[in-house]
Structure 1
Amino acid sequence: MEISYKQLLANISTFIFDVDGVLTNGMLTIMPDGELVRHMNVKDGYAMKTALNKGFRVCIISGGTNQAVKSRLAALGISDIYLGAHNKIVQYTEIIEKYKLKPDNVLYMGDDIPDVPVMQKVGLPSCPNDAVPEVQKAARYISDYKGGEGCVRDVIEQVLKVQRKWDNYFDATL
């Protein structure tokens, strides 16, 4: 009998997320000066901050190089932020070795083809519901939410609820 994705949630200690198409909706607004503007969901930010405060690791591996994205994520307390990553397996391996993790303890969420090699290595590969077909095929869990519209909150909340770490809404450390 195949293990359901719900059973895998109890093993997760580390979340790794792509940015464009996961933490954002994948759309770029190009400003007159050439600056690229992305939109992130504050509910995803709250969930990542909550996960960090509850002792989980949150890491970012993105092909993008926007420093404003890095500043936003660092402000949430995320320290493992890898930008300009085009062969994401390199950064994934660095994270695994740095923290002596087992792949079964990692949930990765991506939305496009560069995410597939990492998804094939982790315990719980996941994606937003608007990910490309190749990514959906590689995923053990497909969120009901689109990229930038709460898919990150969805997976974090599920893990924390299964591990009974979500229910303290009035935790003063948040």
Structure 2
Amino acid sequence: MTETLPKPSKEELVARAARVRLLVFDVDGVLTDGGLYYGPSGEAMKRFDVKDGHALVMARLAGLPAAVLTARSSSIVDVRGRELGLAAILQGKKEKGPALDELLTQFSIPAESCAYMGDDLNDLGPMSRVGLSACPADAVPEVRHEAHFVAQSRGGQGAARELVELCLKASGRWEDVVGLMRRSDTQSILKG
């Protein structure tokens, strides 16, 4: 049995979230429910949560870029990522730690200013590198153990939105983005 690491206090969690300048998400089990649906030609579908998607759009509008980093490759992820206006879509990255380092270099962001949300053992590498590590409620025990923030929601069912809201509220951008949502002229740029 591994030793239990103390979770950050609420104040420390908010401070970590306030420093976030880049959000990075795994896909399967984080932005989706983890189910893989195959047809005769290979992967046919993934289920994404519209509230997670809308949160990623709100983050973009608030000046907080988001990216995906996944070991699998899927045209479905490209389509969804472009639809949401993600800053980067890294697929087929079996070595996620070095891939995260590439993203940090690309955006000139120090690791302590990055949040990463993952759900399985291959996410432990990037989680150990960032200032704010997070996971859905249904992540594997080792990941929940290591995460600074464990969402109340399951993967593909609002976990990503919880992380986005935490970061936007901690950095004082939440009210601005909510105000932006109230204006009807923004509806044409929302596709979450």
For the superposition of Structure 1 and Structure 2, which TM-score range results when normalised by the shorter chain?
A: over 0.9
Structure 2 CA distance for aligned equivalents of residues 33 and 94 of structure 1: 32
Whether 1:105 and 2:113 are equivalent positions in the alignment is: yes
The residue identity in structure 1 corresponding to 2:160 is: V
Whether 1:142 and 2:154 are equivalent positions in the alignment is: no
Quote how far apart the aligned CAs of 1:8 are.
1.1
Partner of 2:4: none
Structure 2 CA distance for aligned equivalents of residues 137 and 163 of structure 1: 25
Structure 2 CA distance for aligned equivalents of residues 50 and 124 of structure 1: 19
Whether 1:162 and 2:170 are equivalent positions in the alignment is: yes
Q: TM-score, normalised by structure 2?
A: 0.85
Structure 1 CA distance for aligned equivalents of residues 139 and 123 of structure 2: 10
Pick the structure with more helix per residue. Answer: 2
Q: Could you tell which deviates more after superposition, 29-38 or 105-114? A: 29-38
Q: Could you tell which deviates more after superposition, 162-171 or 69-78? A: 162-171
Identity %: 34
**Aligned pairs, how many?**
174
Whether 1:28 and 2:41 are equivalent positions in the alignment is: no
Alignment of 1:6-155 (within 5 A): 6-155=14-163
Contiguous gaps of at least 5 residues in structure 1: none
Quote how far apart the aligned CAs of 1:32 are.
4.2
Quote how far apart the aligned CAs of 1:33 are.
4.1
Q: Could you tell which deviates more after superposition, 137-146 or 93-102? A: 93-102
Larger-gyration structure (1/2): 2
RMSD: 1.7
Quote how far apart the aligned CAs of 1:36 are.
3.5
The residue identity in structure 1 corresponding to 2:37 is: T
